[in-house]
A and B are shown apart, each in its own frame.
Chain A
Amino acid sequence: MNWTRRSVLGAALALAGAARAHAAGPRVIVLDWALTELALLLGVTPAAVAEAPYYRTRVATPELPAAVVDVGLRSQPNLALIASLRPDLIVRLRHYGPPQARLEAIAPTLELSIYDADRRPYDRSLQALARLGDACGAAAEAPAVLARLDATLARASARLAAHRGRPVLIANFADDRRADVFGEGSLFQTALERIGLTNAYAGPTNMWGFSTLGLDRLARLEGARLVALSPGPPASLSQSALWRALPAFHDVVVLPPVWVYGGLASMARFATLLADALESESRQ
């Protein structure tokens, strides 16, 4: 797993611009992880984040400094704690968590959206980045963030040149009988397009850009390279007779955790981890 840690750390450092804390910047509390990613990319370290400990294991990069306070559940953050931290700005996700009015009573609240009915998470991420930059006085950082993102994707693309011929299937196993398969409307789709790989799944997807398929439907996507997000297929499935009998699944690649409702950093993390996994394999 050494390759993983090294290259992810490298990517994180590059993306976060060594996470310079804006000492004079506003005190920001972020209630969603995709938006936390964006803040960290801009070099803004939030004073507090909802479910901060879980961010560190499930989103992982950009790294969240240990001093960042945990304000409770993302769906029901602790309002008393938020108020006691005296934030200058609260950043929330549309359609999620406490109502805007309750937060406005504490501090000015910026409502941003990434996954929405129009299913254009990449465009919305760019908008969110710009608006967050404006609100935090870090607007000047945005072009550099995008340049680093482009560079990361370009590096991944170059490393994956040998793998262009075979479409990939991005799956997150829900249990041992079905998986969420990502397609149009997900940031993984944008990442695949930017690094020059084809998505084997072109079917309909929901608001977050995935569709839940049974194993029988997965097996139909023959010839694709199955890329599973951690923890990958449960052991009972990968040892089952069906799995062993289906050639499509034989060379499954399992990536370390990637946040599936993530933002630009998760998209870059996905591209880098995918390049790491496929490259290390072809080296063997």
Chain B
Amino acid sequence: MTRSLIAAALFAAAAALFVMSVARVLPPAGWLAALLAPDPGDVSALIAHYTLFPRAATALAAGAALALSGLVLQIALDNPLAEPSTTGVSAGAVLALALFGSAGLGGPAQSLVALAGGLAAAGFTLGLAFRGGMRPATIVIAGLVLSFAASAATTLIALFNHEWMRALFLWSSGSLRQNDWSAAANIVAFLAVAWLAAAGLVRAFTLAALRDAGAASLGGNPRAIRTAGLALAAGLAALTTAEVGAIAFVGLAAPHLARAAGARTVAAQLRWTPIYGAGLLWLTDEAVKLIPLDLPTGAATGLLGAPLLLALAGRLRRPSLALAPLSAPPRRLRPEWAALIVACVVALALALFVERTADGWALATVAQASDWRFPRALAAFGAGAAIAVAGALLQRMTGNVMASPDMIGVSAGAALGFLALLYAAPTAGAGAQLAAGGLGAGLAALWTLKGTGRGAAPEQPLLLGIGVASAFTGVVSFLLASGDPRMALAVAWLSGSTYMVDAGRALVILFVAAGGLVIALALVRPLQLLPLGPAARSSGLRVGQAQMLTLALASALTAAATLVIGPLSFVGLIGPHAARSAGCRSPASLLAGSALIGGGLLATADWIGRVALFPYEIPAGIIAMLIGGAAALVALSR
């Protein structure tokens, strides 16, 4: 009964708002005629027929499709935090539109390009995961890395094609505006097929819900079930995204709502989840229409979804049979300090002295190098070192090699802190910015790590990180839609450029990075013990205190780095990973090695960004993300 009541309440609220919005355009007497056969001479009836009614239909269809996709993914990955974008479909669709310049064209051309991009991304993710034995953790990591790398590539393309940027931004922020019935019709047709296929897989899904071992012993093939489910979910997500853009959280929220309302069996969940999804998205869209800003619906769901994830994070403690994610087998026994230091010196020398000019390549003199290059190269080095040390700290503390600040949403949290400050107090100085960013990073770190208690699947923090990132995207979309000119500054910074860095800020970041490394080295003993869990306590360590200290340090380092380079980079993940490959195994050597590698990597990325397309500059964060993303994908495919 509760289930029907909740559904009825959702639909009644949405319908009431819808009726009010149609009534503003057309008197109720004309509604039926406008819906079925509008009078060609009546503009109001035409508007209702071609925009208002199809928009509601599209919201219902897209909500149901995303919800079904989310439910199937959660079952197939055996993870309650999975949602349609986990497979990388939205980022793939946006990148395809950017590559072919077809955003804003509308119609079948745009849908087909977006669909192809989404399917290609999902195929890539699943292909990688298939080689890794379809482990849920591998799928989540591959999807996340692919999404990050694809959005870096999209930003790079958009930088040089302003005319698409607006259309691309409008599309990717998920708008439900319609000019006809085609989107609703396309989604409904595929949804019907997908729902029947899902219903056919009920028995298999029920087995899958009993976990791999149980399913195998009952005669199911977990790999085949998982592959079929993932393909179905990815296809649904790709088609829906192609029609309406990226709409986050509906696919996550609806299955949870269904479960909370008492849908316990897989069959009941399959029945109720699409209904709740349809109601949720319709209600959100009707509410969004009340705001005069033309706010994209996807931005609103991104904002609304954050508190939901917060609530879920606290309740997740269920053990999982998922295996540990990738970790590099150390190839050397002892760190190659000489090689690392030489590589860093070479990177800095390149960044400072080798440049492109109007006449070709040139060597700068010391005097020339000290003007702009010096602060920029040092700031890039410092930011890279800081974020890599933060990554090493978090990874050691959690014993999870994927728990880097950029992957678990700590960087996005820092960025949210800055943006909030920029909005509230535009003239605040570097100190206040650092504090606001540190606070945001700390809260995000507390939140994601809260959901990763012992026994949680290793991909849990990543899924929560995706949530922070979605909320972040929602905030950015909202700010951009507000048309506030101050936000131009924010957007430039978000792309991760050292362009605005001056000598003062470069010194601040260097100081923070060096100081952070020294403090981190003092934490070596607790770091050695923390991954041991309960055993650490018996060794006399104050676990809680040590954890808070590590977390605070990592947050401060992340905030400082994010202030310089923006929230986009894989350096926090790749730095410690590469340090381990180079033989840095003890906590002390891991911290020092990560600092050198992270710093050298970002300094090199900054230099590449300056010379690659001279005189056009590519933000260092984008270069780092492309390099890091490629490296991570190669590591995953091994």
Contacts and interface: CB of A to CB of B under 8 A. Distances in A.
A212 interface: yes
A73 B107 contact: no
Nearest to B619: A76
A206 B483 contact: yes
Contacts of B615: 70-72, 77-78, 81
A10 interface: no
Q: How large is the interface on B (under 10, 10 to 19, 20 to 34, 35 or more residues)?
A: 35 or more
Given A75-B492, A214-B294, A245-B40, A219 B107 contact: no
A176 B110 CA distance: 10
Secondary structure type dominating chain A contacts: mixed
B105 A236 contact: yes
Contacts of B103: 175
Max chain A Cβ within 10 angstroms of own Cβ: one of B107, B171, B615: B615
B485 A78 contact: no
A242 B422 CA distance: 42
A240 B179 contact: yes
B50 A245 contact: yes
B43 A176 contact: no
Contact of A85 (B104, B106, B355, B358): B358
Contacts of B40: 245
Contact of B107 (A102, A174, A235, A248): A235
A144 B633 CA distance: 62
Contact of B43 (A78, A219, A234, A241): A219
Interface in A79-104: 79-81, 83-85, 95-96, 98-99, 102
A236 B51 contact: no
B497 interface: yes
B109 interface: yes
Given A73-B159, A81-B358, A242-B46, A175 B492 contact: no
Contacts of B371: 83, 105
A80 B372 contact: yes
A45 B377 CA distance: 35
Interface string B465-502: 00000000000000000010100100010000101101
Max chain A Cβ within 10 angstroms of own Cβ: one of B178, B355, B499: B499
A177 interface: yes
Interface string A161-203: 0000000000001111110000000000000000000000000
A219 B372 contact: no
A158 interface: no
Given A71-B615, A80-B372, A212-B294, A175 B43 contact: no
Given A70-B615, A234-B106, A242-B180, 16 more contacts: A58-B163, A72-B615, A72-B617, A75-B488, A78-B610, A78-B616, A81-B614, A85-B358, A175-B166, A177-B178, A219-B47, A236-B106, A241-B179, A241-B180, A242-B179, A246-B43
11 contacts: A77-B615, A81-B358, A81-B614, A175-B103, A175-B166, A177-B179, A212-B294, A215-B177, A236-B108, A237-B179, A243-B179
